[in-house]
Amino acid sequence: MIPRYQRIVFWLLLVCITGMSLFLVRGCSEARKKLTALADATPIAAPASTTRPEEVTLELASDVDDSITPTQRTLALPQDQPLRLRNILQALLAEYALPTSAHVLPAEPAVIDVFLIPLSAMDNDQPQSPLQAASAVSDTTPLLAVVNLRSSFVLHHPSGVQSEDLTLQSIVGTLHAASPQIARVRFLVDGQPHDTLAGHISLTRTYPAVDTAYAPALPNASPQDAAR
């Protein structure tokens, strides 16, 4: 004779097993539906950002004669403007990591991001949302470029007035050449304001984006500015 409590336990376990089986079957059914949806062969939209070869001007610095020379390079660049500018700056700083460079800098990634902000949004007292700021941008809106540098690059940059000055002017001039819409340039290091590049050149200022190319001249000689 089976005790009554054992019969109750038996029926409870049977109910649980049945419930779990139903739950498992339903879960499998849902998973199959999701997989079927993912396997939809409908063509998806092409990515908005594609790369294409483009000729750009890099303002290359030289420690030898304290000059900055515009140099043409062909780079595969995305169409998205901030990404494009970041890639151009990466290409510029990669030139300085070459053994043949006349302005030797550490060979490591230097630029985290480049942000573009309409200057009108900076001057406006009323705070604007990123959406409002973006909608206010047209092809002629003067922009502030914010270059976010890596702290490792700043840490290993050679310290000295001339060396730091050339690096900064080279970046500013290259940004100006890449996008004349950029009117001013600011620098951050790991997303934070930083006092100096390597102990001398201030990174707390906002620099006008101008053509920084120039050629050397003798003291007391007539200026031979290359670009001004």
Partner 1 sequence: MVFLDPAHGGADPGARISDQLDEKTATLALAAALRPALAQAGFTVLSSRDAELPVNTTLPLDQRAGLANHAQAAACLVLHVTAAGSGVHLATSTLDAAAPTTPGLPAPWDTAQAGYVERSRALANELGEALLQGQLPVLLGRTLVPPLDNLTCPAVLLEVAPLRGADPRQPDDATYQLQLARAVAAGLRRFHQAQSGDDHQPAKPRPHPAAPARPEPQGDATAPRGATP
Residues that bind partner 1 (CB under 8 A): 63-68, 158-163, 165, 168-169, 198-202, 205, 207, 214-225, 228
CB of 68 to partner 1, least distance (A): 8
Nearest to 145 by CA among 183, 190, 194: 183
54 pairs with which residues across the strands? 75
CB of 178 to partner 1, least distance (A): 21
Contact 86, 77 (CB under 8 A): no
Indicate if the alpha-carbon torsion angle 64, 70, 72, 75 is positive or negative: positive
75 versus 104: smaller Cβ distance to partner 1 = 104
Contact 49, 76 (CB under 8 A): no
90 versus 162: smaller Cβ distance to partner 1 = 162
CB of 51 to partner 1, least distance (A): 34
50 versus 202: smaller Cβ distance to partner 1 = 202
Question: Under DSSP, is residue 87 helix (H, G, I), strand (E, B) or coil?
Answer: helix
CB of 50 to partner 1, least distance (A): 38
45 versus 64: smaller Cβ distance to partner 1 = 64
Q: What gap in Å lies between CA 119 and CA 139, rounded to an integer?
A: 13
27 versus 208: smaller Cβ distance to partner 1 = 208
Tally of CB atoms within 10 A around 145: 27
CB of 215 to partner 1, least distance (A): 7
